[in-house]
Chains A and B, each alone.
Chain A
Amino acid sequence: MNVLKIATAGSVDDGKSTLIGRLLYDTKSLTDDKLEAIEEKSKQRGFDYLDFSLATDGLVAEREQGITIDVAHIYFSTRKKSFIIADTPGHIEYTRNMVTGASTAQASIVLIDARNGVVEQTYRHFFINNLLRIKDVVIAINKMDLVDFSEEKYNIIKGEIEYLASKSEYKNQNLTFIPLSALQGDNVVSTSENMPWYKGETLMHHLERLDAEDVQEETQVRFPVQTVIRPKTEEYHDFRGYAGKIYGGDLEIGDEVSVLPSQTKSKIKSIHFFNEEFAKAKSGSSVTITLEDNVNVSRGDMLVKVAEEPTITKQINATICWMDKEPLQASQKYYIKHGVNDAQAKITQLNTIIKTDFSGKIENPSALELNQIGDIQLKLSKPLLVDAYNQNKSNGSFILINPKTNNTVGVGFIKSPL
């Protein structure tokens, strides 16, 4: 099951839901009953064309208001590949839901309405894609039919985005520009005859070509222990396995590992997956590992290869995207969840608010409001085993939880351990 996860982003009414509907329609992924429902509802509401957003806007409030409030996950496949598309909201007030959808994506599509060009939400979405370090970003310049398929319009927008990209810290990004009309189907699945000046691929062709494994950046192996498996049965009397998911690289029997935070050294004795044993396990596999020595390992500990240790620290510098109505203020306490590990965290400093149009920072703000992005310093109640986000995505990110409400209030990207 080779699955590519894609997030869409864009401003309100730039046609995200229509684009997804078009992808489903043109790849014949919409079943008859769903298509009939869309036809019937579109007619009932007096629309001149099929309103594909009816397929993705699953909540009553969304259909009432004609906007997307929360992420919808859409599944479809072509003969070459399976896709999961996170259809995320465009409204600024739902930016946190856009981050939710984009955080697990391997590729991203940012939609721009060709008539309006680059707008404030484009900056924000482009910035978040860069913050998340999503390697493949498609800039889909939509509604080309409404600007007479103008090459000039396309070039102006392309130039503006390239200028933005030049100011971004993330240089490893592949930007692909595609002029299209989601409503009429130009360059979505079939090549448009209306834009002979465009020599690139269609959106579908481009997405089919992306390889889910290639879009991951190489990192060192991290194996955070989720739970310790101790069957305590006659057959497995002495079995003590460490269950978790491998991030960033492969693990093999015989690998010398360091158990953190105790820094005890041992070797991998066996790798189990259900009732089979394997000599080697690839990144992304949820396996159970046993060690040659009887060391003390519990949930939240981490196995890594010797000489590839992350930093053990009680203080971190991070960029944070705030997701709660109650603003973040310095000196407040939160729970921090870092992978499968937990600690308490105190915000010791709120350094800056970052402007998402790459135009700079506001120094020493008093609070960080909903959907704002800023740089902070955190002090932790116990040492965590961290990497910088640009070195290892899974081990370089965390969430903050408000202890009073239990809500997830922020997502953080570790810049450097202090």
Chain B
Amino acid sequence: MKKSAVGSVFALLLISAVVLPVFLSSYQWPGTARDHLELKGVEESGATNLVSAIYLGYRAYDTLGETIVLLVAVTGTIGILKKAGAVIEDRHSFALPGEMRRANYMRTHLLEAVTSKLGPIVLLFGFYVMLYGHLSPGGGFQGGVVVASGIVFLALGSSGNASSALIRQDILGRIEAVAFLMLLILSISGIFTGEGFLDNPLKHYSSLPAAFIIVLNIIIGLKVGAGIGVMCIIMLGKE
């Protein structure tokens, strides 16, 4: 035990000594990329929010990769969850004797009332974040996660009977699959319209320069929302 602690401390010190000069460098930041983005970013991409311009414009290919990382992570988690099953040892609950139920014994009427009322509002906010990503902070990933929270709220507030199709695993799985296919088709379509891979295929069809970014934001948002939503619903366990 002691020996391993010494080893760890030694390794940490050593690696810090190696890494430190990278941070202490007094070399002047080169500014070409920054200047280009500042001067030409909005004009080239059509997105006022430069973050969107970067992650869905200049570096959309990286974003495609990160979307896939999330997709694989969610698929893998669901696989492991289904294999392992959920075992909760702690039987502690805030539920009053009258509202206690066998499954989902930790839920209360209060929780259900609040989450079921909040759910639609959170969903709406999620779509707002998704749709306005090119103008203000936000975008597909952020909006998608908010949508997923809305879905979790709806599921928590459903009190046993599925009040919304949005909390059904199969429906969410379908939304996710279709959104992923759409994302790929959109990325590839440029090759066939003569623009090239991940180049804006809507260039000639839309007067809105940010149209491609908006569409990508919506699709990524749907995919992320459905993926994380379905994972959370599986984690909540069966009704």
Asked if A and B are interacting partners, one says no
Give the A-binding residues of B (Cβ under 8 A).
none
Give the B-binding residues of A (Cβ under 8 A).
none
